[in-house]
A and B are shown apart, each in its own frame.
Chain A
């Protein structure tokens, strides 16, 4: 059974008439890394957020199956505890909540769902500190309010920190690479490569081919006008980088 199966997905912003996703189909098996590329406005971020269950999108047709279960009607938290993780393009700032507090609450919720004991503060600290080092976050940042006053790069590193600690099975990364300097980009790629695992799949949503020089995808899909118009191997990303999206947009 595929880890994620998306069948003929149609979606729009709640209370609007215009569909953004218009029949998207995609299958991810465990162990695979997929890149989803496309021009601005093609629906990439919408798709990532529909997968994660953002409340102001609605699915009008089609299905999203995680381990064969239709998760289209589930709350975001219900999807998260089933192992889906979205690395946000614009992570929220949360005043008064420290990064470790937030992550502990998250890990506790997931443990509770799985009927596992919660980590003690000491156990959690070990995991947290190791992840802080792995993603190269300034330890001082983790003492501040979550994402508050973080630079764009620090926010993205923090998303990787969460992914590293939560160990999700399906990692959806919404333009995590955009706006990153080369060091941060390498860190992000490093986390993905280290987490590649036969039981896990990645969906890397990106506008550029740049990150794919550091993470070699098994499959590349091009999204135009809310539908996947072309799929291929890692080479496809390089082709698109050279030719641009324009021809694909025209033929779509």
Chain B
């Protein structure tokens, strides 16, 4: 990518033309792609630096300097053992595996019949109406560059539908794997999750790299629709490699009395952006967004979270924690919007950060936009270094500096880590965080005696 036009669209023009040329016959996404391409030109560019509130703390220049090819179908599929080595896995789960954005049927497994789970492209005639009704509608609350870009190149994706009143404790895992390649590639993972009335399910979404050094850009969009009374327990794992780029969009629409519980863990990419936007569009709906992000070295991770209350009696909680080491930079921009009429809304948001090194930097900006009366909203943020008095206290009990630092970091993370409930997922998160600890060293002049 040499120069960027105002919208950043031109860089993809040749790829888009090639995609159009290459498709024989109409497919599910044909019209959506064309429409997205038209709108992409007018959408605000994320690359603009001046007056760009939405990307204020994240300069995409390092990503713009890399020339990405659109990821095609992989020459050969990775070994299942290779995938299991880098991703959470449980044979008892229904797992849909996507390799470089393409559905890999042979690597996937459907462990139950309670839910409809498969690829969007192969969704049967009975699913057509649901898919057409909802696909790209949840993301469409605003015209955002990366969600539109995803749609421009969409050819497939994950599809999960929970029939009305269905309930399963068996997680559905949407696993997006990036493979190694000679040249940097971009893929566009996509998911559509439709939770029927009074349905209950666990959905895990994870992003991993098979290769530790491969440079790739995952531009993900996941849309969730929760019908009346639906309860979705959602987990999002971002654990791609340290050379990758990730722009992830989670878009949720909640109808009356539904509950969306989401726990996320993010680490890995050189530059990552985690957008979560929830529209509380039914009375009495509840939304809990919880997340842990860990960054080190030169990593940059930007969490852009919003919950918009459109209807009365809604509840939302945002609770995020960050652990920053090296000269990494993390961002938390959280906003709660309470629209006129959304009376009796309760909303809170909190972002707590632990900075381990003088070079680590956090920009945290929780905010409220309240346009209704009779609501209760709270927000807060903290950023602190490891407390020397606390370390001294621990050391005075015989616990050495290194062990004490690790206990403090684990302790800080525990509150979130404990919320990953599926056992195989909990083990994965524990393994990943433990393996990261040696790189999360606390640096201070007070480390000696």
Q: Are A162 and B449 in contact (CB under 8 A)?
A: no
Known: A77-B398, A97-B407. A92 touches B446 (CB 8 A): no
When C-beta atoms are compared, the residue in chain B nearest to A103 turns out to be B397
When C-beta atoms are compared, the residue in chain A nearest to B400 turns out to be A77
Chain B 31-66 near chain A by CB (<8 Å), digits 1 or 0? 000000000000000000000000000000000000
When C-beta atoms are compared, the residue in chain A nearest to B444 turns out to be A55
Interface size class of B (residues with CB under 8 A): 20 to 34
When C-beta atoms are compared, the residue in chain A nearest to B448 turns out to be A55
Segment from B72-80, B182-190, B262-270, B386-394 that makes contact with A: B386-394
When C-beta atoms are compared, the residue in chain B nearest to A112 turns out to be B398
> Taking the complex as formed, is A96 at the interface, i.e. its CB lies under 8 A from any CB of chain B?
yes
Known: A55-B448, A96-B414, A97-B411. A88 touches B399 (CB 8 A): no
> Taking the complex as formed, is A94 at the interface, i.e. its CB lies under 8 A from any CB of chain B?
yes
Q: Are A81 and B407 in contact (CB under 8 A)?
A: no
C-alpha spacing A56/B387, complex, angstroms = 13
Residues of B within 8 A of A109 (CB): 397-400, 403
When C-beta atoms are compared, the residue in chain A nearest to B418 turns out to be A96
C-alpha spacing A45/B403, complex, angstroms = 26
Interface size class of A (residues with CB under 8 A): 35 or more
Residues of B within 8 A of A86 (CB): 396
Chain A contacts with B in 151-210, Cβ cutoff 8 A: 162, 166
Residues of A within 8 A of B400 (CB): 75, 77, 109
Question: Which label, helix, strand, loop or mixed, suits the secondary structure of the A interface?
Answer: mixed
Known: A77-B395, A80-B396. A94 touches B449 (CB 8 A): no
> Taking the complex as formed, is A74 at the interface, i.e. its CB lies under 8 A from any CB of chain B?
yes
When C-beta atoms are compared, the residue in chain A nearest to B410 turns out to be A96
The one of A52, A56, A97 that contacts B388, using a Cβ cutoff of 8 Å: A56
Q: How far is the CB of A220 from chain B (nearest CB, A)?
A: 25
Residues of A within 8 A of B148 (CB): none
The one of A53, A92, A97 that contacts B449, using a Cβ cutoff of 8 Å: A53
Known: A54-B392, A77-B401, A80-B396. A105 touches B407 (CB 8 A): yes
C-alpha spacing A86/B411, complex, angstroms = 23
Chain A CB count within 10 A is highest, among B395, B397, B411, for: B397
C-alpha spacing A77/B403, complex, angstroms = 11
Residues of B within 8 A of A113 (CB): 398
> Taking the complex as formed, is A66 at the interface, i.e. its CB lies under 8 A from any CB of chain B?
no
The one of A73, A76, A81, A93 that contacts B392, using a Cβ cutoff of 8 Å: A76
Chain A 109-143 near chain B by CB (<8 Å), digits 1 or 0? 11001000000000000000000000000000000
When C-beta atoms are compared, the residue in chain B nearest to A78 turns out to be B449
Q: Are A162 and B398 in contact (CB under 8 A)?
A: no
Q: Are B415 and A105 in contact (CB under 8 A)?
A: no
Residues of A within 8 A of B411 (CB): 94-97, 145
Q: Are A55 and B446 in contact (CB under 8 A)?
A: yes
When C-beta atoms are compared, the residue in chain A nearest to B406 turns out to be A105
C-alpha spacing A54/B389, complex, angstroms = 9
Residues of A within 8 A of B395 (CB): 53, 75-77, 80
Q: List 20 A-B contacts (CB under 8 A).
A: A55-B388, A55-B446, A55-B447, A56-B388, A75-B401, A80-B395, A80-B396, A81-B398, A88-B396, A92-B392, A92-B393, A94-B407, A96-B413, A97-B414, A105-B397, A105-B403, A109-B403, A162-B397, A166-B397, A166-B398
Q: Which of B's residues lie within 8 Å of A, judged by CB?
A: 387-390, 392-401, 403, 407-408, 410-415, 446-449
